[in-house]
Amino acid sequence: RYFPDPDLVSVEIDSEWLERVRATLPELPAAKKKRFIESYGLPEYDAEQLTATRAMATYYETAVQAHPSNPKAISNWIMTELMREFNERNLTADKSPIPAEYMAEIVKMVDSSEISGKIGKDVFAEMMAAV
């Protein structure tokens, strides 16, 4: 049971101060997940996986900034090709040997039919093998 302690004075928090403090906080994972769903049109599962760590969310957003026309394709490539390599090599997004911009470039080339999806996967595998 809870009851007010008579020896403690009540504390009133100024709403302006509270807003200033909120403005200094980084975006929380739940808010980032919601934004990924709303802004990029990702399914909930994809957004959940991409916001599991701050590094993965940053990697994804960097790739989307480099190729903003297809955020879902970037999500697919990260969640299949990149995460498979991460799991096999025990890596994390912040230690990725492949910069997000390079991943975005592969997706961009596949999207523009400059290369096929199969060739894109081969290029990605060669990039990973080279590091």
The answer to whether residue 6 is domain-embedded is: no
The answer to whether residue 59 is domain-embedded is: yes
The answer to whether residue 22 is domain-embedded is: yes
The answer to whether residue 97 is domain-embedded is: yes
Number of domains in the chain: 1
Domain that holds residue 91: 15-130
Which residue in 67, 70, 98 sits closest to 84, CA to CA? 98
The answer to whether residue 1 is domain-embedded is: no
Q: Output the tens digit of pLDDT for each of the chain's 131 residues.
A: 677 788 888 888 999 999 999 899 989 999 999 999 999 999 999 999 999 999 999 999 999 999 999 999 999 999 999 999 999 999 999 999 999 999 999 999 999 999 999 999 999 999 999 98
> In the structure encoding, which two tokens stand for residue 128, read together?
């990973």
Distance between alpha carbon 110 and the CA centroid of its chain, in Å?
21
DSSP 55: H
The answer to whether residue 47 is domain-embedded is: yes
The answer to whether residue 3 is domain-embedded is: no
The answer to whether residue 74 is domain-embedded is: yes
> In the structure encoding, which two tokens stand for residue 84, read together?
């498979």
Residue 12: helix, strand or coil by DSSP? Answer: coil
